[in-house]
Amino acid sequence: MDTPTVEKPAATLLYVEDDHLTQELVIRILRRRFPQINIVMAGNGKDGFELYTTHHPEIVVTDIRMPMVDGIKMAKKIKKLDKDAQIIVLTASDETNNILEAIDIGINNYVLKPINVQKLIRAIELCLDRISIREQLKQKEEYISRMAYYDHLTGLPNRQLFNEFFHKALAHASRNKLLLAVFFIDLDGFKKINDTLGHSTGDHLLKAVAERLKECCSREQDTVARWGGDEFIILLTDLEVPQEATRVAQKINEAFLQPLALLNHNLTISISIGISLFPDNGMDAETLIKHADAAMYCAKNKSQQMGNKGRLNSLE
């Protein structure tokens, strides 16, 4: 009775073989047991290596004795390109020296001829398992990196990543004699929203604010980040005149005159923006952020003195 097909991650497999009978047998095995694998074929090591550089397959199955370039020479070239390449060699039992050479260059999967079907299947399964483990580790590393550099609530860069961007942008602006602007933004009346409608609504509001800020700062070189709490920070680079920053600030202010739709509420909230410019207001990141923060508090105090406090409209 046939062994049930085991579901494995999709992959591309390069099969290099010059013997047509063996090729037909192996292809039949592969297509029957691993239908999710994409197969590319070559009849010699030279063509096999060219296909490898074109398709970048996760798995290589190759005979050793072949014309033009044999399987071991091809495997060496592949290993130079990718030390983690999963290579299975098919070899006759009398080719001991070739087996030892294969092991020496980092190939730890080999199947003796005449081909043992179960051993070939197991070798491919081991390769797929290694690929799956590598992918899981990669995803874990990406997740850890994201947690370290991005705000988990809004998905914006966090303070650490913003500072890295900022220092690079300052060096670029200094070299090319360009202006850049820092916006420090605070939501007016955010505590009132949390206290009145709950922290869940507050979280949804922060996410909506993040999206609206990104819409207002849509250039590739613009950076919108969450500084912490209800504070956001924006970096505008490659500016030619200060008025460009003023126009963006006006655009942001106008955007927040429109309600933010979230959950069962339409909320209109005002914001306070403080702006600092490089090089007029400072030459380093710390000074520019400090001045933008101070300017933001001046704007907030002026707004409160004029009675323009944070607004809250709740429509059930």
Q: Do 78 and 46 sit in the same domain of this protein?
A: yes
The pLDDT, as a whole number, for residue 132 is 86
Same structural domain for residues 97 and 168?
no
**Domain end marker among 143, 167, 201:** 143
3-state secondary structure 169-201: HHHHHHHHCCEEEEEEEEECCHHHHHHHHCHHH
pLDDT at 316: 26
| Same-domain check for residues 165 and 228 | yes
Number of domains in the chain: 2
* Whether residue 109 is found in the same domain as residue 187: no
Residue 149 lies in a domain: no
Measured distance CA(289)–CA(295) in Å, rounded: 10
For residues 199 and 206, is the Cβ–Cβ distance under 8 A? no
- pLDDT tens figures, 229-249: 999 999 999 998 999 999 999
In a domain, residue 151? The reply is no
Residue 47 placed within a domain: yes
**Domain membership flag for residue 6:** no
Segment 96-120, tens digit of pLDDT: 666 677 777 778 788 888 888 899 9
With a cut of 70, which residues of the chain have pLDDT below it? 1-9, 93-99, 305-316
Largest CA distance in the chain: 93
Quote the CA–CA distance of 274 and 299 in Å, as a whole number. Answer: 7
Which contiguous run of DSSP H or E holds residue 148? Answer: helix 117-149
Q: What is the pLDDT of residue 256?
A: 94
Which domain-ending residue is among 143, 171, 201?
A: 143
Do residues 139 and 165 share a domain?
no
Residue 114 maps to which CATH number? 3.40.50.2300
Please state, in angstroms and rounded to a whole number, the distance separating the CA atoms of residues 5 and 152.
40
Active site annotation includes 230: yes
Domain span at 90: 12-143
Question: Which pLDDT score, from 0 to 100, does residue 106 have?
Answer: 73
The single residue of 151, 186, 230, 293 carrying the catalytic annotation is 230
Quote the pLDDT of residue 93.
60
The CATH number that applies at residue 286 is: 3.30.70.270
